[in-house]
Amino acid sequence: MRDILEAVAAGDLSPAEAEAQLAGYATTDAGRFDAARESRRGLPEAILAEGKTPDETATLAVAAVETSGRALVTRASPAHAEAVADALPNCDIDRNARAKTIVACESDYEAPDIDATVGVVTGGTSDAEAAGEAAVVLEQMGVSVELLEDVGVAHLGRVLDHLDLLREVDVLIVAAGREGALPTVVAGLVDTPVIGLPISTGYGHGGNGEAALLGMIQSCTVLSVVNTDAGYIAGSQAGLIARAVAAARDE
């Protein structure tokens, strides 16, 4: 601990980074940024912009960059994006408007790189946000992503056209709303592990993703699932598996 404090005194270490190393989080006016999760599980800690003001989001993003060299913001509106960019003028800012994510990196941030690939499949346009969120998380973990969109179960031909891709990747995330049948169909065709990501489209009885979640959890093929719209969880879980595969490749 003495080393850390002396580095702070010498200006070699920001107080935020020092606090993160000592306490596992950095304190800000907008709450705490939990820096420890990344070191604990190797997962990029995300700042959920939904429900936060642009200012609060930017404050946490600054703390994240100071602590770990990078900030990952999810469910961000354009206003959030603008505030983050203004607060981090020296960072490279990468905003994905469909996925509603922002990644801000210090110019010397060294991104990880993992020798594994995850396929992210969607059934339709409304699956793009959560699927994109999963893809961004994977990229931040250094995993290669193959994105395959709009192969809904109502157009079976599109699924069958991409069987090779579906079989070649190390893990598959399959996102689907409404009745959520796509992961079941895909998992019946491949021996790749499939993670079902239910999406809160649909309306009336069983809407809001309920039918999709139940359909995946009752699937007559082998799947595991995450909660509705949980793109961050799906991406992180696929990333943990991909990392295990990559580690085995490196043995």
Task: Looking at residues 165 to 194 of the shown chain, list those that interact with a copy of itself (rule: CB under 8 A).
Answer: 170-171, 178-181, 184-185, 187-193
Instruction: List, as one string, the DSSP characters of 42-83.
Output: SPPPEEE-TTS-HHHHHHHHHHHHHHHSEEEEES--HHHHHH
| Tokens, residue 10 | 């010498």
**Terminus-to-terminus CA distance in the chain, angstroms?**
34
Query: What residues numbered 26-65 form the site for a copy of itself, per CB under 8 A?
Result: 31-32, 34, 36-37, 40-43
Q: Which stretch binds a copy of itself (CB under 8 A): 10-18, 100-108, 140-148, 201-209?
A: 201-209
Residue 112: enclosing H or E segment and its boundaries?
Answer: none
Tell me the three state secondary structure of residue 250: helix
Q: Which of residues 73-132 bind a copy of itself (CB under 8 A)?
A: 116, 123-125
Q: How many CA atoms lie within 13 A of 145 on its CB side?
A: 23
Contact residue for a copy of itself among 156, 164, 174, 175 (CB under 8 A): 156
* DSSP letter, residue 92: E
Query: How many contiguous H segments (helices) and E segments (strands) does the chain have?
Result: 11, 11
Is the Cβ of residue 70 or residue 243 nearer to a copy of itself in the bound state?
243
What is the rounded radius of gyration, in angstroms, for the C-alpha atoms of the chain?
A: 19
In angstroms, what is the minimal distance from the CB of 129 to a copy of itself? 12
Query: Which member of 104, 153, 166, 174 binds a copy of itself (CB under 8 A)?
Result: 153
Region 207-246 residues binding a copy of itself, contact defined as CB under 8 A? 207, 209-230, 233-234, 236-237, 240-241, 243-246
Give the residue with the Cβ less far from a copy of itself, 7 or 241: 241
Tokens of 128: 């793009």
State the nearest-atom distance from the C-beta of 238 to a copy of itself, in Å: 9
Provide the token pair at 176. 């689907």
Binding window for a copy of itself (CB under 8 A); candidates: 2-10, 63-71, 104-112, 196-204? 196-204
Number of residues this chain uses to bind a copy of itself (CB under 8 A): 82
Q: Which helix (H) or strand (E) holds 225?
A: strand 224-225
For position 69 contacting a copy of itself by CB under 8 A, the verdict is no
Complex with a copy of itself: residue 31 or 85, whichever CB lies closer: 31
